[in-house]
Amino acid sequence: MNRKLFTVGPVNVEPETLEAMTRPIITHRSKEYKLLHGSIVEKIRKALNTDMDVFMVSGSATAMIEGAIRNGISRKSLGISGGSFGDRSAEIAELNGKTVEKVNVPFGKAILPEHIEGKVTEDIEAVHWVSNESSTGVFADSTAIADEVRNQNPDSLVIIDAVTSAFAMDLDLKNLEPDALIFGTQKALALPPGLGLMVCSERLLKKAETVENRGFYTDLIKIKKQSDVNYALTTPPVSLMYALDYQLDKILKEGMPACYRRHNEMADLVRNWAEKKLNGIFPDEGVRSNTIGVLNRGDLDFDAFHAALKDKGYEISNGYGGVKEKTFRIGHMGDLTPDRVKELLGAMDEILEVME
Ligand SMILES: Cc1ncc(COP(=O)(O)O)c(C=O)c1O
């Protein structure tokens, strides 16, 4: 059955977007490829309002998170985590032989600059955290955290997992000045999975020159050399890139302020519904994500509720990680609209009535 996805990613992909993938394959050492690659980079820069480097690898966002860590840290980092994906970045660093000092923030609470007070010591080469923690639905003020990092240690890099916020919530890159900002295709870009992307600073590239064992696949120095002439380091998924180029045109046509507003509107609809009809939203007020509603289950039989919702042709997402059993999640990002969210909420109302 073809269900309407209100999941947290992969998300719903429109037929026209899939259609854009069916153009003839080109080789990645052709003039046509260079045009496609360059066009994507320029459009991402425009959408995110940055002139920084934009790198792509075939894979998922995690490939680029691992890449940022392997290129930006020789020995030691500080990992801030308020959930599963924050933990994962720390795990990636440790599995790559780095030492990670950890700051754990309670699930559902804001990540604040004071959480890292006195912790970005001289030996901390990078601080990593998640912009929008997909397990708890908490959106962090990354600019405030990055400022605090650089106040304490101007040499420390900031590596930000923006997998579920980029292109949906304004990250204000001109002020944030990330060293690595990472995302993928299967979230707010509303594409199939398959590309890991990174906005990368000169500082990170400079640091990479001093770091050993950067590997090959995500060696940012090798990637930069190719990217400067609009080539990929290894074989890129050109079909997905056609669709990415198409989606970027669509997003730019909507305009970023309108796109961010639409995500805010969808989030408000879900939040209000959760307060009125169920047990509210899990994360604290003021730090709630505009892309993922994490709803308290209370005594709702989620499996029965979700089975009934699937029968009606909709799919949402289970809870995740440490709050799996007490929450469930609704993804409202990408090409979805407030009208489509209202349609989902209407279907959920009908199910609640029957379940009562
Ligand atoms: C916040 C966050 N970070 C990282 C990831 C991992 O991304 P990928 O599966 O594209 O590697 C996800 C996936 O859901 C995520 O939500």
- The DSSP annotation for 305-353 comes to HHHHHHHTTEE-EE--GGGTTTEEEEE--TT--HHHHHHHHHHHHHHHH
**Cα 173 to ligand 1 centre (Å):** 20
**Cα 344 to ligand 1 centre (Å):** 24
Q: 280 and 154 in one domain?
A: no
CATH number, domain at 304?
Answer: 3.90.1150.10
Q: Which of 253, 269, 299 is a domain's end point?
A: 253
Q: 246 and 101 in one domain?
A: yes
**Cα 291 to ligand 1 centre (Å):** 13
Rounded Cα distance between 224 and 53, Å, is 8
pLDDT per residue as tens, the chain (356 positions): 689 999 999 999 999 999 999 999 999 999 999 999 999 999 999 999 999 999 999 999 999 999 999 999 999 999 999 999 999 999 999 999 999 999 999 999 999 999 999 999 999 999 999 999 999 999 999 999 999 999 999 999 999 999 999 999 999 999 999 999 999 999 999 999 999 999 999 999 999 999 999 999 999 999 999 999 999 999 999 999 999 999 999 999 999 999 999 999 999 999 999 999 999 999 999 999 999 999 999 999 999 999 999 999 999 999 999 999 999 999 999 999 999 999 999 999 999 999 97
CATH number, domain at 82?
Answer: 3.40.640.10
**pLDDT of 308:** 97
Q: Which long-range contacts (CB under 8 A, 24 or more apart) does 16-19 make?
A: 16/246, 17/190, 17/191, 17/243, 17/246, 17/247, 17/335, 18/192, 18/243
Structure tokens belonging to residue 293: 């509603």
Q: Into how many domains does the chain fold?
A: 2
Give the closest residue (by CA) to ligand 1 atom 12: 163
**pLDDT of 202:** 98
Q: 210 and 83 in one domain?
A: yes
**Cα 137 to ligand 1 centre (Å):** 13
Helix axes 220-227 and 61-72, enclosed angle (nearest 10): 110
Give the closest residue (by CA) to ligand 1 atom 14: 9
Query: How far is CA 99 from each of CA 75, 121, 125, 136, rounded to the nearest angstrom?
Result: 6, 14, 11, 26
For 80, phi and psi rounded to 5 degrees?
-100, 135
Domain residues for the domain of 333 are: 4-10+256-355
Q: 95 and 228 in one domain?
A: yes
Q: Which of 233, 253, 273 is a domain's end point?
A: 253
- Residue 94's SS3 state is helix
Query: How far is CA 227 from each of CA 33, 192, 250, 280, 351, rounded to the nearest angstrom?
Result: 12, 23, 24, 46, 50
Q: Are 218 and 227 in contact (CB under 8 A)?
A: no
Q: Which of 66, 130, 131, 163 to mutate to test the pocket of ligand 1 (most atoms within 8 A of CB)?
A: 163
Does residue 16 sit within a domain? Answer: no
Does residue 27 sit within a domain? Answer: yes
**pLDDT of 1:** 60
For 96, phi and psi rounded to 5 degrees?
-95, 15
Q: 283 and 236 in one domain?
A: no
Atom of ligand 1 at shortest distance to CA of 133?
Answer: 1
Rounded Cα distance between 140 and 80, Å, is 11
Number of Cβ atoms within 10 Å of the Cβ of 175: 11
Q: 268 and 196 in one domain?
A: no
**pLDDT of 2:** 81
**Cα 74 to ligand 1 centre (Å):** 24
Does residue 204 sit within a domain? Answer: yes
> Residues with Cβ within 6 A of ligand 1?
9, 60-62, 85, 130, 134, 161, 163-164, 184
Q: 228 and 137 in one domain?
A: yes
The full DSSP string for 187-231 is STT---S-EEEEEE-HHHHHHHTT-S---STT-HHHHHHHHTTT-
